[in-house]
Structure 1
Amino acid sequence: MMPLEYFIFVMITFLLTAAQCEEIEVFAEAGSQAVLPCKCSPLYPYIPAILWSKADTGTVWRKQRSGLQFWGSIWSPKVTQRRIKCPHSKFEKGDFSLHINNVREEDGGVYSCRVEHGDRVILKVVTLRITQVSVSSLVPVWGSDVSISCKVTPWPPGASVRWTLNNSPFVPQTGIASNGGTTKNAVSEKATARLTGNWTCVVDYKGKELRASAALTVKGVIHPSKDDTKVYAAVGSAVTLPCVFSPGLIPSNPVWEKLRPGFLFKPTPGRLPSSFSSSKLFSQLPSDQSASLKEVGLEDEGRYRCSGSIEGQQVTRNMQLVVAKIHSSVPSQAKGSETLTCQLTDSSEVTDYEWVHVEYDLNGTRSVGSIQKGKTVSVSKVSEENHGEWACRFYGKDGILGNVTYHIQRMSRLSGQKSVGVSHNTAAMVGLSFLLIVLLLVLAQMYKNHQRRKRIFQYPALETIVHTVSNEREERERNKVKN
């Protein structure tokens, strides 16, 4: 209900003037301009007297028929820096609306506009309601308590409040607190990244929606922006584990840990990989506490945690390292081909795989062949076109997640021909060896005969006897044939 003093103010004003009265409601967000309407038909040819007043403070602004202007004590131009004005250029049209710049919570209330034109008095009553969203801390630290409240001054009876965050309905985890449902509605939460953005309080009142907004930024780790973010790396490659705090935020006692599953799913610290390095680069800012692994192994997969102390509050961020590799196998039924399989230690976010054949010429120019879809690809090892690098790219719903490569050596395609060549070469070597042995035997026999004749020629008489005996033997053999 309308406060008693407002009601009395309106009734007294109405009874004393016996004027034609109209009540209007105006809503304005804190910091904006509010226009309190006071319009009537053009009043010619006289210049009217105008009085704007507020129920709890009295005169706001008035102008006499002589043209002199006066401001209330708290509305003086020296105090308010001319926050209020009543544009004279519109008087001829019967528009005596009051403009209030940069409205504040205390500006809310009941105003009256009294226009005196001769013996005619026109009265307008305007209720100005100021909507405002306030945050207990505009830049709270991650993990601290934060409260976002919605106020409408004066509060409209029967109004209800709902919240949106970044234009989406917000469902609070701890509920909405209200102070009797009359002065404010507030959301109380622990500060996390999900609270960052533009908060809008929507007040439903008499079929209308009254809105007020405020921006909220949570200080802490901004990259990665949420817990359990996955970082992808190929076996043997280097990878950076990001841990970047808000600009200008320097954490004390920064610590990196590798987590291992513990009892009741609570992670406990484990041993960091041997290639892990948290040493800062010279060009890094103090707010960047990222770490790196120089050479990723399959055993390095798992969850890692970066933490640091900010204003006495421990701020942490968990992330998961996913390791990718390519498994090669030779099907038993197709020995001339090779099957490549893209394997990840966690493929829960992968929606698609594709294979790309990459070649480099003598000048180092890179060329990409056709793209094949699927987790596996079959490659012919004897084909000249398949040598070189094969890359497996894996994608998520927001685009590419990472890639891993595999090299097929140029000589691997000749493995089938090489075995046949070896068998032919073996047969040729055996044949050549046999011919060489025969030749050596012949030469040995010739040398032996030569040596024997050489020994005989040293004794001529013996040579005559041997020759005579040989002739006689031949003569006897001929005679046997004749007989």
Structure 2
Amino acid sequence: MLFEYFIFGVAAFVMTGAQCEMTEVFAEAGSQAVLPCKCSSSYSYSPSIIWTKVNSGTVWRKQKSGLQHWGSSWYPKGLQRARCPHSQFERGDCSLEINNVREEDGGVYSCKVESGHKVTENVISLRIIKVSVSQSVAIWGTEVSVSCKVTPWPYGAGVQWMLNSSPFVPLTGIPSVEGVVKERATEKLTGNWTCMVGYKGKQGRASATLTVKGIIQPSKDNTKVYAAVGSEVTLPCVFSSGLIPSSSAWEKLKPGSGFNKPAPGRLPASFSPSSPSTQPSLDNSASLREVGFEDEGRYRCSGIVEGQRLTRNIQLVVAKIESSITSKKKGSMALICKLTDTSEVTDYEWVHVVYDNNGTQSFESIQKGKTLSISKVSEENRGEWTCRFSGKEGILGNVTYQVQLMSGLSGQKSSSLSHNTAAVVGLSILLVVLLLILVQMYKNHQRRKRIFQYPALETIVHTTSNEREERERNREKK
């Protein structure tokens, strides 16, 4: 390379009045490269221009007569891959445009402009940058490499990687060697990779896209899903389009088990996969029909794709509201919003849900804080109280509690009194009825007692009555 520069330098200075400039140009493979060449716009007649590449001969030349000529490799099948636009000559611009540059186009070029006895020569080093990935579509967990190739390579150049317009920090902590990044494929590697090369004050760049397929929902491991006690919740597990996992399964991980080798536990009774394992599907989500506070913890979804087991851990965070009576005399109580994991919670908000006669829902009494104190439980503040908990990215979830008017709380003294009055009236009526029944039974008893004191009289009365009945029967027969 140094020898080539030396040859061009010597050739330029041997000529009388020669001027020589050396320029670095970077171009991405497949793009258009512009090799600069300044020429004077004050020529009295048309100059001759010749573009050559070291070890490859003529690229393009124009004689003073205006006749043009292309090198055989630059005019394949009548297509002009290299040209100098005539419209730029009047501006003193004799730059060469090369379309759809290839790696083999990299090298040293010379632009020589001759007008009379004045010769101007520019030397340009064209370097082609190409970014390639070992597999454009990688499966999560497999090894993938992204390489940056520069032809010819500028020794001493600085290389920096950008991923989705942000500086890339190696996940393994090992920096790239000679422009090559090697990592285990994860969702963090998905996107546009850009290699930026800096050399002698010039900078070039090239890009390539890497797609990592696997479990796309949730997009990252240990995603938290929030649910209220008694509600139904879905644990998402969706694979990338085109990936149909086999042997898909769900497990609940035991508390305290490590992330590298988590120990499986028992799934809740209300746990239900969305689709049977006998019917492979992209969507392997599962649901809990009725969440219990004890159902909190980590769950793992897994499936085999192309011989690689893909997994995703999901943490279920359960919320509930606990109530306590702070003062029976004053009729006050406290509601506490409790979650099994508060690491992402930054704010609590209490909302009173009110319904009118038409069933329309409205919200009142918005308060902040994890604990809600109700100083007086009355008709105004009874009903639904909802605790909303939020994080940095917005509302995470909510849980609702129903406040009822209970004995011993505010407003219950009058209620208790009315209940006691009704009970006393009822007992009084019952006692009066029982007393009347006893009096009647006593009268009947006394009457029988008086009759039994004269048995002879009772016999006479009974005999007379029988004889009367006998005479009436005989009269009817006649």
Percent sequence identity over matched residues?
63
Q: 1:90-129 residue pairs with structure 2 within 5 A?
A: 90-129=88-127
CA distance, structure 1, for counterparts of residue 317 and residue 342 of structure 2:
8
- Which stretch has the larger CA shift, 353-362 or 372-381? 372-381
Partner of 2:399: 404
TM-score by length of 2: 0.84
Q: CA deviation at 1:376?
A: 1.5
Report the 3-state secondary structure (helix = DSSP H, G, I; strand = E; otherwise coil) of the residue aligned with 1:422.
Answer: helix
Change (3 A) 1:434 1:296: closer
Q: Unpaired segments of 5 or more residues in structure 2?
A: 454-478
Partner of 1:63: 62
Q: Residue 418 in 1 paired to residue 412 in 2?
A: no
Change (3 A) 1:206 1:446: same
Change (3 A) 1:356 1:177: closer
Partner of 2:41: 42
CA distance, structure 2, for counterparts of residue 291 and residue 90 of structure 1:
66
CA distance, structure 1, for counterparts of residue 6 and residue 263 of structure 2:
65
Match of 1:221 among 215, 220, 226: 215
Contact kept in structure 2, 1:129 and 1:152, CA below 8 Å: yes
Counterpart residue type for residue 190 of structure 2 = T
Contact kept in structure 2, 1:54 and 1:111, CA below 8 Å: yes
Change (3 A) 1:209 1:420: farther
Match of 1:156 among 154, 171, 176: 154
Q: CA deviation at 1:13?
A: 5.9
CA distance, structure 2, for counterparts of residue 17 and residue 252 of structure 1:
77
Change (3 A) 1:82 1:289: farther
Q: CA deviation at 1:248?
A: 2.4
CA distance, structure 1, for counterparts of residue 313 and residue 372 of structure 2:
34
Q: Figure out how many residues of one structure are paired with residues of the other and give that number.
A: 450
Contact kept in structure 2, 1:50 and 1:115, CA below 8 Å: yes
CA distance, structure 2, for counterparts of residue 264 and residue 66 of structure 1:
81
Partner of 1:313: 308
Q: Unpaired segments of 5 or more residues in structure 1?
A: 179-183, 457-483
Q: Residue 369 in 1 paired to residue 364 in 2?
A: yes
Contact kept in structure 2, 1:115 and 1:122, CA below 8 Å: yes
CA distance, structure 1, for counterparts of residue 372 and residue 418 of structure 2:
30
Q: 1:57-456 residue pairs with structure 2 within 5 A?
A: 57-78=56-77, 81-172=79-170, 173-178=172-177, 184-261=178-255, 266-280=261-275, 286-332=281-327, 336-379=331-374, 382-409=377-404, 415-432=412-429
Change (3 A) 1:82 1:415: farther
CA distance, structure 2, for counterparts of residue 341 and residue 213 of structure 1:
53
Change (3 A) 1:94 1:332: closer
- Which stretch has the larger CA shift, 440-449 or 259-268? 440-449
Report the 3-state secondary structure (helix = DSSP H, G, I; strand = E; otherwise coil) of the residue aligned with 2:352.
Answer: strand
CA distance, structure 2, for counterparts of residue 436 and residue 62 of structure 1:
131
- Which stretch has the larger CA shift, 314-323 or 444-453? 444-453
CA distance, structure 2, for counterparts of residue 364 and residue 431 of structure 1:
43
Q: CA deviation at 1:127?
A: 1.3
Q: CA deviation at 1:365?
A: 1.0
Partner of 1:463: none
Q: CA deviation at 1:62?
A: 1.3
| CA root-mean-square deviation | 3.2
Q: How big is each residue's C-alpha offset from its partner over 1:410-467, in whole Å with a ceiling of 9 and x where there is no partner? A: 67786544322232234334555565666667777888899999999xxxxxxxxxxx
